[in-house]
Structure 1
Amino acid sequence: MARRRFLQRLGLVGAAAAGSGLLAGPAAAAPKPSPPGPDPRALHWLAGDHHVHTQYSYDAMHTVAQQVAAGRRHGLDWMVITDHGHVAHEKFAVETTYADVLKARAANPSMLLWQGLEWNVPSGEHATVFFDATKNEIAALHAFEKLFDGNVNGTNHTSDANEATALAALRWMSGQIDRGAIDSALMIANHPGRNGRYTPHEFRNYRDTAPHIAVGMEGSPGAQNDGGHRGGYGNAPGGDSWTGWPSESYRTFGGFDWMTAKLGGLWDALLAEGKGWWITSNSDIHQANGSRLVRPDTPGDWYDTHGGYPDPVDSGTPQEHADFWPGEFSRTVVGTASRSFRGVMDAIRGGRVWVGMGGLVSALDVRVHGGGRPATLGGRVRVRRGDDVTVQITAHLATAPNTTGRIPRLARLDLIRGAVTGPAADRDGFTNPDVSVVESFTPRGRGPVLHVEHRFRNVRDPFYVRLRGTDGHRSNGLEPMMDVQGAAAPWDDLWFYANPIFVDVV
């Protein structure tokens, strides 16, 4: 009753919040057309991590303060704490975590820090969910977990009814924005191919129900130091898996999820509709590799009765784990018009994002010219049929060693073009046959900057362009290789990917 009064007092839920009445609410109104994107020259590029666990997850151990300190040490500007949705988490940990987040914000004013949630998506997998940190963020988070988390309300398994609950959750978030209870919300699907739980039509339904909230997926998962299988991608189809996925979709390729890494695959199929579906990367950290910290011994039911673990203690011996510290290996770099909570969220929502591993590239500038102001990542240009379109790329190469003590070297940068063909006839389709690498660029000499240009002449039909790059250590021709089960070596197979820019032809 106390929790219910807490939620009602903040005006985020009504009397139906504890039952199913809210799930049947009307769909949110269509979002307003997006205003023109910011001038690429005015953007600030900030590195971050949207998938970080702490001692308040049932399978993690580090404190909020330790995660934030590590993020700062590895050059991050923003982070999202995303502890697992769980009955004990909802009951005990939401406000306790928030107190730690507020302390960490005060101690680290240069770090933009959110408290989010790793949502157990009904009928799906996991997803990052977080709200703008300027209004009622904790009340919204608590209400959302109580109402819609699959572990809390028993809607994890695959079914049409549970799929509908996931869409109701998106409409609920959108409705809270419409009524002014919160300012902004985002959902990003985590490790999408790991268990085969997500279907292509679910991604399309999420995006079409709330395109201002459900904006994309992890292009590369965390847990990259899992020596058996990068990202924990060593699974096979289960009872809740979609039967349409091929066997290779359960593996990573160069550390990237097959849905992203496969040229002409699921990611390209979604982009072929001419709508944004952006990729990100993160640490998904639970226990940091190389840290001397360990969780103190506790009774087996400790988490269920406390919603968290005691602070970790120093064992005196470096520990081997699957996870890197935030920013140590993977990062999501966003182009924002302002260094603010809303600025970062708007950048993610707008697709102004590139992701990289191991410090392979330190900065990236992409501009597409086709008349009028150029567009950058996530943007679009509008040209007349028969016009030329020019892509200009500037990549700042690594000049400092990464954790291994080596300076990574970019061996090749690929410019990829994909056709835009409109809405998918098959909502479960996951291929786009008209996608290709149109040009590959190789850095010459040892200079710190690679600047290249490509011109599409006499364009006739709409398309998009996107980028990827590699250190060249493992590839199958131009394509990344499937990571070797039992022998993954993340530092020896580095890639970066950038989100697309659309070219509309009239």
Structure 2
Amino acid sequence: MKILPPAPRFRTSLFSTLALGAALLTACGGGSGGGAPFAGLPIAPPVPAPAPSPAAPPPAAPAGRWTVGDLHVHTIQSEDTQQISTLDQVLAKAFDTFGLDWVALSDHLRLSSYDNDGRKLPAQIPFSKGMADYQVPRIKALQAGGKYTDKTIFASFEWDMATHDHGNVGILTDSPMSDAALKAVSQFEYLFTNRDPALFPAADVAAWNAKDARAFTTHEDVLKAIAWLKKNYPDSSYLQINHPSRNPGKYTAAQLREMNDAAPDIVFSLEGMVGNQMEPDRGGYNSAYTPANLPSRTYGGVDYLVAKLGGTWDALLSEGRRIWNTADSDYHFTTSQGLYSSGYAPGEYARNHLWGDIKDPKSLLTAMRSGKLFAVNGSLINALDFKVQSAKGAGEMGTEVSAKPGEDLKITIRFKSPERNNFEYQLGSGVYANVKPVVDHIDLIAGDVTGRELPGTPGYARDTNPTTRVVKRFTRADWTLDTEGYFAVTYTVKAGNNQYFRLRGTNLGTDVPNETAGGEPLFDARTPTPAGDDPVTRFNAINARNYNDLWFYSNPVFVKVAAQ
């Protein structure tokens, strides 16, 4: 992660003025097809809530609860944090300030120069040693002392995947953050990075060499690392693909399939709603702004792989693959030295809403695999109930429901938005602008499930799903307020082919200049350098850009249609 110097912008800026003043104290909203909420940057007036309409209470939910968290959080033990984000500070932001329930720390699996408090070490050490010597003992000490005892915290790491980009790896073992788990992380670092063997205990190196060969150069070596995780920690490890399209050509659809095929219970998530949103190039997607690099842009802050209707994520879902989308902060720091900006704190902007009986890291992993999750930026919504009901039962996010051909499927969507999100003006002032996020519309998206593509066939490289379509676009004219305070809408479709349904929602109208066209998000251009190259003005422009452009994405519900 790095901050680039200012560069020209390639489309008209939304930020013709930063004289926000009191205008930012009103709520954002807008009708479908209308202008951007901060158009100008004035903000549209608040949208009155519809009158409540009677509704039956929902059926009793299974055991579990909704939780909120972040899988991608850095501390000062990552070299690119500008040495300002100590472990205690990061956890305080995540839990005390922004109310998360769980966090996976994910410092770079590289050489580290600092302990968890930012003290410079005599010499660089492998991060696995820094995790064992500093990070994990501090987490345990905090919780043993009564701090964050009701929170789930664990240490993972961000791996530089050979020939690709980054992946979050969690190795929990039977006892997360135990000596055995920490030894496993050290072994992974030795085997699957180019670290000097002299940095590891000689006895460990000898034992590891006797069992496995080092592999850290090719795509095939990445598959070997995944195979190693599956062999040793099949139920207690994961690999999440981070910011997949940030750099051009880092993944093909065939390679993503290979990774998922190698270990579907380990490689099952994509960081589609990426972090580093405070960079001028949104998400740090800083390749040249040329037509060839449009797949390496974010679209409404979302990676092209997920944001593109009928794109790579839909192609993978069309095979029935259980691959889920997540939203993470990728937090390093927000601003530094009054000059640089990177990303929001954990829970400040990006939030994963995950359902499960979550008590510890292993139950969190179980919940992540189940896929009942929706991801959101800027707290556009903070509750979502999404069901597909057939005669045989109800399917929810991450699950499958059976149906007969031609039968009616009742689709229920219920959501809430908070009274305000975390939009600050000025950024870092601690003064919230009291902006209430307002959903303009929600798209019900469907795609056919046509079966697995086979390795070696042309379909294995397929990165589109031409059957993906917006089945219905719902606006405030369609939903009503139910007795539990949810905005609710139902819709009926006929069961046809095997298929999946997913949701996408935004605060923007369907045709907002430079933001949306026909309801589809447009690529995020670089926030321009303000007159006089004033960093504070730039920070506020980036922050307003992000809160102007909010989206949520749900995981899919699959429908299995019985043969006639």
Same fold, TM-score > 0.5, yes or no: yes
Residues 315 and 463 in structure 2, CA contact (< 8 A), matched pair in contact too? yes
Q: Does 1:410 align with 2:462?
A: no
Match of 1:207 among 246, 260, 281: 260
Say whether 1:169 aligns with 2:225. Answer: yes
- Point out which structure has higher relative CO (alpha carbons under 8 A, 6+ apart): 2
Provide the C-alpha distance between the structure 2 equivalents of 1:401 and 1:434, rounded to a whole number of angstroms: 35
> CA contact under 8 A between 1:42 and 1:337: conserved in structure 2?
yes
Q: Which residue does 1:358 correspond to in 2? A: 378
Instruction: Determine if contact 2:287/2:293 at 8 Å carries over to the other structure.
Output: no
Q: For residues 224-278 of structure 1, what are the alpha-carbon distances to aligned partners after superposition, in whole Å with 9 as ceiling and x for unaligned?
A: 111x2110012149xxxxxxx9521110100000000000001100101011111
Instruction: Kindly indicate whether residue 310 of structure 2 is the aligned counterpart of residue 264 of structure 1.
Output: yes
Q: How far apart are 1:287 and its partner, in Å?
A: 1.1
- Number of the residue aligned with 1:280: 326
| Counterpart position of 1:482 | 523
How far apart, CA to CA, are the structure 2 residues paired with 1:147 and 1:192? 23
> How many angstroms does 1:40 deviate by?
5.0
**Whole-angstrom CA distance in 1 between matches of 2:164 and 2:142:** 32
Give the CA deviation at 1:340: 3.0
Does the CA-based 8 Å contact 2:169-2:239 persist in structure 1? Answer: yes
Kindly state the Cα deviation for residue 403 of structure 1 after the two structures are TM-superposed.
Answer: 2.7
Q: Which residue of 2 is the match for residue 105 of structure 1? A: 143
Is the 1:120–1:156 Cα contact (8 Å) retained in structure 2?
Answer: no
> Could you list the per-position Cα deviations for residues 286-335 of structure 1 after superposition, in whole angstroms to 9, with x for gaps in the alignment?
1124xxx76xxxxxxxxxxxxxxxxxxxxxxx675221100000011111
**Pairwise CA distance, 1:123:** 2.2
Alpha-carbon distance in 2 for matches of 1:152, 1:285: 28
What 5-or-longer segments of structure 2 have no aligned partner?
1-59, 112-124, 198-213, 425-432, 510-514, 529-541
Instruction: Determine the C-alpha separation between the residues in 2 that align with 1:49 and 1:408.
Output: 21
> Partners of 1:150 and 1:127 in 2: how far apart?
16
Which blocks of at least 5 consecutive residues in structure 1 are unaligned?
1-38, 238-244, 295-317
Structure 1 pair 52–433 and aligned structure 2 pair: CA distance change class (3 A): same
After TM superposition, give the deviation of residue 400 of structure 1 in Å. 2.6
Task: Choose the corresponding residue for 2:490, options 423, 434, 453.
Answer: 453
Distance 2:185 2:139 in 1: 14
Give the residue type in structure 1 aligned to 2:520: E
Aligned 8 A contact 2:171 2:233 in 1: no
Q: TM-score, normalized by length of structure 1?
A: 0.79
Q: 1:379 aligns with which of 384, 390, 399?
A: 399
Change (3 A) 1:152 1:393: farther
Give 1:285 shift: 0.8
Matched position secondary structure for 1:59? helix
CA contact (8 A) 2:128 2:182 kept: no
Distance between the aligned counterparts of 2:397 and 2:194, measured in 1? Answer: 34
State whether residues 446 and 468 of structure 2, in contact with CA within 8 Å, keep that contact through their aligned partners in structure 1: yes
Counterpart Cα distance in 1 of 2:353 and 2:438: 19
Q: Following the alignment from structure 2 to structure 1, what is the Cα–Cα distance between the partners of residues 317 and 195?
A: 32
TM-score (norm 2): 0.71
Aligned Cα RMSD in Å? 2.4
CA distance in 2, matches of 1:44, 1:420: 30
Shift of residue 336 of structure 1? 0.7
Q: CA deviation at 1:449?
A: 2.3
Instruction: Name the CA shift for 1:152/1:83 in 2 (closer, same or farther; >3 Å).
Output: farther
Structure 1 residues 50-84: Cα deviation after superposition (integer angstroms, max 9, x where no partner): 11111111111311111111011212100011111
Q: Structure 1 residue 47 and structure 2 residue 50: aligned?
A: no
Q: Which residue of 1 aligns with 2:79?
A: 58
Aligned mate of 2:171, from 117, 124, 131? 131
Structure 1 residues 330 and 151 mapped into 2: Cα distance closer, same or farther (>3 Å)?
Answer: farther
Contact 1:105 1:112 in 2 (8 A): no
Measured after TM superposition, the shift of residue 371 of structure 1 is 3.1
The one-letter amino acid paired with 2:131 is V
Distance 1:150 1:450, change over 3 A: farther
Q: Is the 8 A contact 2:392 2:403 kept in 1?
A: no
Written as runs of structure 1 = structure 2, the 5 A alignment for 1:307-326 is: 321-326=341-346
- Following the alignment from structure 2 to structure 1, what is the Cα–Cα distance between the partners of residues 143 and 362? 16
175 and 155 in structure 1: CA distance in 2 versus 1, 3 angstrom threshold: closer
